[in-house]
Amino acid sequence: MKYTVIIEKGESSYGAFVPDLPGCIAAGKTEDEVLNLIKEAIEFHIEGLKEEEIAIPEPHFDFAQVEINND
């Protein structure tokens, strides 16, 4: 499965969250670190859902970037 991950750059670190998995978040010092951590967080989150016998949400969020003229 592939989940959409949103990455936010802060002043001194990066944050990431998964819209399809509420509460699944990670933070790291670099973009690479936060991507590795969010992957681990997704796996952990899904393991928890399985243990609780809760249905695993199918990925349905997608993303697009829209360029605008900022003149």
* 45-70: pLDDT as tens digits: 999 999 999 999 999 999 999 999 98
Give residue 11's identity as a one-letter amino acid code: E
Average pLDDT in the 24-48 region? 98
Q: What's the confidence (pLDDT) of residue 16?
A: 98
Window from 4-8, 39-43, 63-67 with minimum mean pLDDT: 63-67
Q: State the distance between the two ends of the chain, measured CA to CA, in whole angstroms.
A: 40
Q: Is residue 31 within 8 Å of 8, Cβ to Cβ?
A: no
Average pLDDT in the 20-47 region? 97
Q: C-alpha distances in angstroms, 41 versus 46, 64, 66?
A: 9, 23, 28
* pTM, rounded to two decimals: 0.87
Neighbours of 38 (CB within 10 A): 26
